[in-house]
Amino acid sequence: MSLRSLKLPTIDFINKRKYAMAFSALLLIVSIISLGLQGLKLGIDFTGGTLIEVGYQQTADLEDIRTKLASANYAGTNVQYFGSDTEVLIQLEPQAISSAKLSSSIIQMLGDGIDVRRVEFVGPKVGEELTNDGGLALLYALIGILIYVAFRFEYRFALGSIAALVHDVIITLGVFSILQIAFDLTVLAAILAVIGYSLNDTIVVFDRIRENFLSTRHIEPMPIVNDALNQTLARTLMTSLTTLLVLLALFYLGGEVIHSFAGALIIGVVIGTYSSIFVASTMILALGISKEDILPSEKEKKEIDARP
Amino acid sequence: MNHYPIWKNALIVFFIFISALYALPNIYGSDLAIQISGTGDYVVQDQDVKNIKNTLLDNEIDYKSVGLVDSRILIRFEDSQSQLSSKALLKNTLSRNYVVALNLAPSIPQWLSNVGGKAMSLGLDLRGGVHFLLEVDMEAVVSMAIDRYYNELRTVLREDRLYKSIRKEGNLLVVSFKTENLKTEAKKLIKDELSDLNIVEGSETDLQLSLEISSSAQSAAKSSALKQNITTLRNRVNELGVAEPIIQQQGSERIVVQLPGVQDTARAKEILGAVATVEFRLVDEKNDLQTAVQSGKIPVGSKLYKFRDGRPLLLKTSVIVTGENIVDAASGVDNDNNPMVSITLDSAGGRTMLETTKEFLHHRMAVVYIENKVETIIEDGNIVKKRSKTQDIINAATIQGTFSNRFQITGLDSARAARNLALLLRAGSLSAPIEIIEERTIGPSLGADNIQKGLLSVLVGFALVLLFMGWRYRVFGLVANLALTLNLMIIVFILSMLQATLTLPGIAGIVLTVGMAVDANVLIFERIKEELQLNKNIQKAISAGYAKALLTIADANITTLIASLVLFSFGTGAVKGFAVTLSIGIITSMFTAIVVSRAVINLIYGGRKVEELAI
């Protein structure tokens, strides 16, 4: 007899795991190749440089702006529309002399009647620091989570969840690399939030796997894991849906500044949902989880028994 | 079963009431206002309020109210026209003891602010403004300290004619002696009187010593340079007239400056980073300029300077007075309509000036403008600091009559240059060069857009989730919706209480919380459904659903909390704002989704016979 009652879905996730593995492997390989070949299109937060967003009364003449910049000898500039054709984003790579004054002189050059909407200048040293700090933050987040999950569950669960997280982060980065979307500090924040979110999903599934191991006499891990996935499926999908709903609102209505942030979260939530179903649980099966690993040790049992 | 004791329900209601009360201030808008505060030691008083009221009445400017709060005067206006014209008016009529700045003042009703209600403050990205990160050139600080010790060392050792020579080598002072005895004596003297100087280990030879500044003295010099720069920056920002500026130390060599609502960011940049001062020197009229320029031999006691247009001039090395002696400076125009700065010296400076002008009547005196710059540049792929010092003569004129502490300087490029110089002289000079290493400016129009778009996306996202939950879980969905609404309110309440600054990423954090907060309810409801399918009694299903979901919710939320705490600890401004609202949202969602929703479910279904659950 199965634990499942009639209305719960009975999808055989475990037998489909080979396809999932192949799919994940493909995504990972493509992501890693793209990251290796063309890398991320790092924003000025990390490279250093200057960014100016200006608004015009009418449609802006990009060619005119480019000519002006070129005649003033600003090398490495990128001029594009931002959101609408009355708004222009000018980006300058770090110049030989990179100072906060650069933006003032460019704004002066563009002439009167423009609305300066945003200026960002990041010195080369600061860019370097932010890159290091960003990398460290990812690392610390992963280590913190590893410790918590190992402490609350068991090391195989910790490894399984980290595998799922690394999977999610690499693929999300991969999408940013393939589509060459600007990767700035807010996107990094989004990726850290994805780590939190994806983990949230994974933990819910793991919790159920542990509960099922404890509550049944079954010792075969595969059906237990499969049951857990089915039991949590409705919740996994519901939560992903509500989260995606608000993210879509943010993506379409939140404005250009928040666009890539919301985009990163949308990609991350989709990948994270997939990985919590297919990757994390497959990993713990591959690591050879069994009922004995879950049961409280003798010492813990005594502690539990000693409780009133 | 499924019944909360009355005290528990009462506690929940009480907490919700309190958070509603203190979230309330945020729904009132802001008034356009002018903020007037005292500079330095001066504190504005009731008398000032009366004077300002009279000034406004005399000039027939309409205002909403004038009040004195937390030792600053706040004048509220109906429209920006009267706000701007009053700013110009008050800036002209009030003395320099006052800082006049544009501001936005939250218009919270009196009763609400009486009970301590405060609105969240809006970040620079929502209201417009500038954020600067400035770095103090600490190498310059150390090298200035070396110069200082060099002089002290000479003074200390000279009394007994102990040394043969002292020279600077990088950050070291190398002293040589004629005999070993003199060296021993000097060492004792240095130890007693210049304890900040250490002998570099292994550098001592028979007749020579190398000295370095002890690390404690170095860090003392650095921290005092940083503090002094912060003071100077604060003076300069006050001169610019900014309401609620933030000027803070960050780390050991950086200063964060945030100026909300600044319109002329180019000027702010010029003013903050400038290390400029003036010196007054006599022109060397004994030696011939042409010979000196052609032969390259500069006479002893003189130095070759240049005008801005490149013309050379010999000036005496001894300085009459420097910018340090200037106590006040104001820009204006002279009789010929040229921009000028009128200077007031302190008493010591005034005395020296009087003596000099008496002695050298009809000689020429020059004003030298000195500017120190430090820039970080990329050279062959390496990041290096480039320092430069410009010393230009801006004016050299014949002393027509004696004067002491009040006079004018002319020869400035433009009215703007005169204004800037006057401001810099008033606010005092920076003790070490600083450089802007990061700037983030948000124009007022983008700020307004960000607020509007941020609010819209929160509302739309929120509405979508409400609809979806109501459709999927019916009565339970409505309960979850109530919990979600309360959650939003409690987040706003906590942010207001912490007086946190709301930023666009902060709004994104709230939006994400809205999406994720329902997770706890989804977990519980799905669990209740499962329990029902196991043919459990309805009341038992509800309580089992809550009980079994609890640990899962805790585990899931704690891990997310870990991620957002990491975000907070590493993050810069933008990322921090996101992390703060996300963390708060996670914690409050546990309360609303578990405790509050349970209380409501208990009220609806608890303690009675229920045939069917609308779930």
First to last CA, chain B: 19
The CATH number of the domain covering residues in B274-441: 3.30.1360.200
Q: In chain B, whose CA is at the least distance from the CA of A124?
A: B383
The CATH number of the domain covering residues in B32-107: 3.30.70.260
Q: In chain B, whose CA is at the least distance from the CA of A234?
A: B526
For residues B352 and B405, what is the distance between their CA atoms, to the nearest angstrom? 9
- Residue A38, pLDDT score: 92
In degrees rounded to 5, what are phi and psi of residue B194? -125, 65
Q: How is residue A258 written in tokens?
A: 């928040």
Pairing of strands B364-379, B302-307: unpaired
Cα-trace Rg, chain B: 34
For residues B451 and B407, what is the distance between their CA atoms, to the nearest angstrom? 50
B551 contacts: CB under 8 Å, gap ≥ 6: A207
- Residue A269, pLDDT score: 93
Residue ranges, comma separated, of all CATH 3.90.1070.10 domains in chain B are 139-219
Residue ranges, comma separated, of all CATH 3.30.70.260 domains in chain B are 32-107
Instruction: Return the amino acid letter for B212.
Output: E
Q: In chain B, whose CA is at the least distance from the CA of A265?
A: B512
pLDDT by residue (tens digit) across B56-67?
A: 888 888 888 888
Q: In this complex, which of A94, A203, A211 lies closest to B559 when CB atoms are compared?
A: A203
In degrees rounded to 5, what are phi and psi of residue A184? -120, -170
Q: Answer yes or no: do A249 and B469 touch at CB < 8 A.
A: no
- Residue A1, pLDDT score: 32
Q: How is residue B319 written in tokens?
A: 């300085």
Is residue A126 within 8 angstroms of chain B, CB to CB?
yes
For residues A272 and A278, what is the distance between their CA atoms, to the nearest angstrom? 10
Q: How is residue B543 written in tokens?
A: 């309580």
Residues of B in contact with A195 (CB under 8 A): 563
Q: Which CATH architecture has domain B6-24+443-605?
A: Up-down Bundle (1.20)
SS3 call for A299:
helix
What CATH topology corresponds to B139-219?
A: Hypothetical Protein Ta0175; Chain: A, domain 2 (3.90.1070)
Q: Answer yes or no: do A149 and B559 touch at CB < 8 A.
A: yes
- Residue B518, pLDDT score: 87
Q: Are A202 and A156 in contact (CB under 8 A)?
A: no
The class (CATH top level) of A49-122 is alpha beta
For residues A55 and A256, what is the distance between their CA atoms, to the nearest angstrom? 13
CA distance B488 to chain A (A): 14
Q: In chain A, whose CA is at the least distance from the CA of B449?
A: A255
Q: Bridge-partner residues for B374, per DSSP? A: B387
Residue A89's H or E segment, with its range, is strand A84-92
State the best of B138, B526, B529, B590 to mutate against chain A, taking most chain A CBs within 10 Å: B526
SS3 call for A51:
strand
Q: Do domains A14-41+127-299 and A49-122 have the same CATH topology?
A: no
CA distance B419 to chain A (A): 18
Is residue A106 within 8 angstroms of chain B, CB to CB?
no
A95 contacts: CB under 8 Å, gap ≥ 6: A50, A74, A75, A76, A102, B378
ipTM higher than threshold 0.90: no
Q: In this complex, which of A130, A253, A257 lies closest to B456 when CB atoms are compared?
A: A253
Q: In this complex, which of B265, B439, B511 lies closest to A246 when CB atoms are compared?
A: B511
State the best of A152, A200, A215 to mutate against chain B, taking most chain B CBs within 10 Å: A200
Q: How is residue A174 written in tokens?
A: 């991969």
List, for chain B, all residue ranges whose pLDDT scores fall below the cut of 70. 40, 378, 571-574
Among residues B276, B274, B132, B435, which one has the least CA distance to residue A99?
Answer: B435
Residues of B in contact with A96 (CB under 8 A): 377-379
**Ordered DSSP codes for B576-608:** HHHHHHHHHHHHHHHIIIIIIHHHHHHHHHTTS
B303 contacts: CB under 8 Å, gap ≥ 6: B314, B315, B316, B317
- Residue B488, pLDDT score: 92
**Ordered DSSP codes for B443-502:** -HHHHHHHHHHHHHHHHHHHHHHHHHHHHHHHHHHHHHHHHHHHHHHHHHHHHHHTTPEE
List, for chain A, all residue ranges whose pLDDT scores fall below the cut of 70. 1-8, 95-98, 218, 295-308
SS3 call for A254:
coil
First to last CA, chain A: 34
B229 contacts: CB under 8 Å, gap ≥ 6: B136, B255, B430, B431, B432, B434
Residue B104's H or E segment, with its range, is strand B98-106
- Residue B83, pLDDT score: 84
- Every domain of chain A and the residues it spans: 14-41+127-299, 49-122
**Ordered DSSP codes for B316-343:** EEEEEEEGGGEEEEEEEE-TTS-EEEEE
Residue ranges, comma separated, of all CATH 3.30.1360.200 domains in chain B are 274-441
The class (CATH top level) of A14-41+127-299 is mainly alpha
For residues B250 and B244, what is the distance between their CA atoms, to the nearest angstrom? 18
Residue ranges, comma separated, of all CATH 1.20.1640.10 domains in chain B are 6-24+443-605
Q: Are A51 and A119 in contact (CB under 8 A)?
A: yes
